[in-house]
Amino acid sequence: MATVVLHVEGMSCNHCVGAVEGALREIGATGKVDLAAKKVDISYDESRLTVEAIKAAIEDQGYDVV
């Protein structure tokens, strides 16, 4: 398992947390959103997912990965 921390703009509430964490689950990753820090700590299987795919899943929810 690999881990990555992504900085995400646009998250402001529990709905945002659910949207981002749910999108990560759908692609086979696990994530923990920190709203105050505007970051997401993500664990994923690097043989199945790329960081680019993870970023795309978050951005598809309407948030900006910076």
CA distance 65 to 39: 9
pLDDT for residue 49: 98
pLDDT for residue 3: 98
Its pTM stands at: 0.95
Contact call for residues 24 and 55 (beta carbons, < 8 A): no
pLDDT (tens digit, 0 to 9) for every residue of the chain, 66 residues total?
999 999 999 999 999 999 999 999 999 999 999 999 999 999 999 999 999 999 999 999 999 999
Question: Whole-number mean pLDDT of the chain?
Answer: 97
For the chain, give every domain's residue range.
Answer: 2-65
Which class in CATH covers the domain with range 2-65? alpha beta
